[in-house]
Amino acid sequence: MIRFKAARKRFADGTVAVDDLTLEIPAGQFCVFLGASGAGKSSVLKLVNGMVQPTSGRVEFDGIEVVPRTYREIRPRIAMVHQQFNLVLRSTILRNVLAGALPGTSTTAAMLSLFPAELQQKACRLLERVGLSEKHLYRRAAHLSGGQQQRVAIARAFILDPTLVLADEPVASLDPEISRGILQLLRDASRESGTTVMCSLHQPDLAREFADRIVGLARGKVIFDGLPDQLDEEMIGRIYAGARAARETAEDDGPVALGALTASEAV
């Protein structure tokens, strides 16, 4: 269970990414955060694992407050799936999946790349689950298509049996058909293991198709919270109208999205 209590995030440049957010997400829910670029979706997700620290308010994960002191305890239980996949392109597929298990591996073993056979077998099972085969194991991530890379990233996310997966625009750089496949996989995998998913999207049709619950964000504020059936065209219009206004004043996507952009360019 994730709980936000009046959480607020204001970046140094004055952008308010998350504004007075109070929300509860029960265990096992597939919760989609819908909004355009700059609406604050990414920041909401990153508040949960401390990649973004709240300016005020409180964020709790399974009853533990998310503060620097508790990062070590909570981060291994939270996995992340990124818009730009963030695989190490020069490493093999297997190595990329195993890298997700680093917090559970001793530093000495990690430096020597000595992962237990058990863990390696689990990585294989996960890769099979996401639709990859044995021939991919020792191939470099750079040789995979975008959709396949995201599948590897999902396998990496699930290797430590997380209780929560944060999926930050997981399909934003993929075409619609592949996007459906990825979201389907993410939802099915989380259902099988009872994992909670917080997923940010900017496509209303995908949100309606896969979400248990949709939270509509505009300019850092929740303006919709309900079941997929309750999201009507008027509400979608409001979510995006707010975002347009935000973009015109901020002129860019704010520091969070900008960070993701520079990272993708460097690859």
Partner 1 sequence: MNNDTTTPKPAAEWQLRSVYSTRLFALLAVGAVLLAISAHRSEVDKGLADSGRAIVAVVRGKPESSRVARGWLRFLSHAFPLVIASYEPIENPEEFDPDTLPAFAYRDTKYPIKDTMGDVVRYVDAVVKPIGYLTYVGGLLVQTIEIAIWGTILSVLISIPLAYFGAAGYTPNKFSYNVARAICNMNRAIPELIAALVFAVAYGQGAWAGILALGVHTSGFLGKFFADDIENAAKGPQEALASTGANKLKVLRYAVLPQVMPQFLAYGQYILERNVRSATVLGIVGAGGIGVELNERWKQFDYGHVSTILLAIFITVFILEQIAQRVRARLIGE
What residues make contact with partner 1 under the rule CB under 8 A? 49, 51, 71-72, 74-76, 78-80, 82, 84-91, 95, 99-100, 102-103, 105, 107, 110-111, 153, 156, 160, 166, 248-249, 251, 259-260, 262-264, 266-267
Shortest Cβ distance from residue 233 to partner 1 (Å)?
29
Which residues are bridge partners to 244 per DSSP? none
Instruction: Specify the residue, 156 or 202, whose C-beta has the smaller distance to partner 1.
Output: 156
Shortest Cβ distance from residue 205 to partner 1 (Å)?
27
In which residue are the tokens 């818009």 written?
Answer: 83
Shortest Cβ distance from residue 61 to partner 1 (Å)?
12
Q: What's the token pair of residue 33?
A: 């955060």
Instruction: Specify the residue, 117 or 266, whose C-beta has the smaller distance to partner 1.
Output: 266
Instruction: Specify the residue, 165 or 231, whose C-beta has the smaller distance to partner 1.
Output: 165
User: Is the Cβ–Cβ distance between 207 and 118 less than 8 Å?
Assistant: no
Three-state DSSP state, 89: coil
Shortest Cβ distance from residue 238 to partner 1 (Å)?
22
Instruction: Specify the residue, 164 or 211, whose C-beta has the smaller distance to partner 1.
Output: 164
Instruction: Specify the residue, 160 or 222, whose C-beta has the smaller distance to partner 1.
Output: 160
Shortest Cβ distance from residue 267 to partner 1 (Å)?
5
Distance of alpha carbon 16 from alpha carbon 8, whole angstroms: 8
Instruction: Specify the residue, 18 or 214, whose C-beta has the smaller distance to partner 1.
Output: 18
Q: What's the token pair of residue 171?
A: 């399909």
DSSP states of 187-223 as a string?
Answer: HHHHHHHT-EEEEEES-HHHHHHH-SEEEEEETTEEE
Instruction: Specify the residue, 10 or 139, whose C-beta has the smaller distance to partner 1.
Output: 139
User: Is the Cβ–Cβ distance between 93 and 148 less than 8 Å?
Assistant: no
Angle at 131 between CA 110 and CA 196, to 5 degrees: 70
Distance of alpha carbon 11 from alpha carbon 115, whole angstroms: 39
Shortest Cβ distance from residue 102 to partner 1 (Å)?
4
Q: What's the burial of 104, exposed, middle or buried (CB within 10 Å: 0-12/13-18/19+)?
A: middle
Shortest Cβ distance from residue 45 to partner 1 (Å)?
10
